[in-house]
Amino acid sequence: MSDRFDDSAFAGGLKSGAAALLQRSRVLLVDGEDGTRFRVASDLKQAGASVDFASSGSDAVSCVNEAQDAHEPYDLVVLDLSGLGAEGCDVVERLREVQYAGPILALGEDVSRGEATRCVQAGCDDLLSKDNDPSELIESAVSLVGREKARRFGLAGPGEVTSELSAYPDLLMMLRRFVSNLPESMESVLSAQREQDLARLRDELDRVKRNATSHGYLEIRASAVSAQQELEQSNKSDAQGVVEAIDELTDLCHRATAAPSEPPPPSGPTLPPSG
């Protein structure tokens, strides 16, 4: 196995989104072998992560405690089981005992089934062979860090529809009210559709469009506009376009969330000026 990524393959991995996520991440590498430390740290840093080091279990617990006390917890802890020897699984247990809630990724070499089971039971989230392709390390790190940031910040999940304003903490309550009112708004649209009340349907679609615009839900706004256009172009003998457009709008509203799609800045951004 090569000690380094192939440059072209690694660049392709970054384009897939690893860089965007790991560039905002803090990783603690707990490892007693210089060779592994250099290779793993180098790969993580190339993906954009900030990497700190701990050479023992006690050192790792101290680092995690300091980070949590500073309100800057690690997004991922990577353990080299072969470098730590029999202490490896004990480190996992000790980190959980000090209330580290983030993901722990273990790297092993000829790890027995019993040792792997014990690590998982202790609180390890993933276990990779050190002989695997380095890209698997980045893939696992991206997955675990993404899950941790979603847990910590209450982020939107894949497929959920978010607002452009969700990065502003002061506006989240307003966005939650908008999302909580969407079922009632869409029921008014669907009621007008069922009753074939075209005038009311136009009004209800326009109301959804205006509210979505003012709350930053641009996907919902675009879908409402599309439904309005279909309504204007339709005739009674062929309303399939209207039905499909409203179905799309309904789906987007079901997937709307007030959660941000990215972690908010540490101090919160300055609200945009009015006007």
Question: Please, what is the average pLDDT of the chain?
Answer: 81
User: What CA–CA distances, in Å, run from 169 to 133, 172, 263?
Assistant: 40, 5, 11
What is the structure's pLDDT at 38?
82
What is the structure's pLDDT at 14?
40
What is the structure's pLDDT at 144?
85
| CATH class held by domain 169-254 | mainly alpha
What is the structure's pLDDT at 134?
76
What is the structure's pLDDT at 119?
79
The one-letter amino acid code at 195 reads: E
What is the structure's pLDDT at 189?
95
Burial class (CB within 10 angstroms; exposed 0-12, middle 13-18, buried 19+) of 138: buried
- Name the CATH topology of 7-153: Rossmann fold (3.40.50)
The larger pLDDT score, comparing residue 164 to residue 17, is at 164
Alpha helices in the chain (DSSP H): 7-13, 19-22, 34-46, 57-69, 81-84, 88-97, 113-122, 134-153, 172-194, 198-214, 218-233, 240-254
According to CATH, where is 3.40.50.2300 located in the chain? Answer: 7-153
- Decide if 192 contacts 204 (C-beta within 8 A): yes
What is the structure's pLDDT at 16?
44
What is the structure's pLDDT at 2?
34
| Rounded Cα distance, 241 and 229, in Å | 10
Mean pLDDT lowest among 15-29, 62-76, 185-199: 15-29
- Residue in this structure with the two tokens 């990724």, named with its chain if needed: 105
pLDDT band, residue 215 (cuts 50/70/90): very high
Hey, which residues does 226 pair with through a beta bridge? none
* 50-106 residue pLDDT tens: 999 998 889 999 999 999 999 889 999 998 887 776 677 888 889 988 889 889 998
Sequence-separated (6 or more) residues with CB below 8 Å from residue 125: 103, 104, 105, 144
According to CATH, where is 1.20.120 located in the chain? Answer: 169-254
* 103-158 residue pLDDT tens: 999 888 766 677 777 778 888 888 887 776 778 888 888 888 877 877 777 777 77
> If DSSP codes are grouped into helix, strand and coil, which group holds residue 98?
coil
The larger pLDDT score, comparing residue 265 to residue 221, is at 221
* 174-188 residue pLDDT tens: 898 899 999 999 999
What is the structure's pLDDT at 32?
59
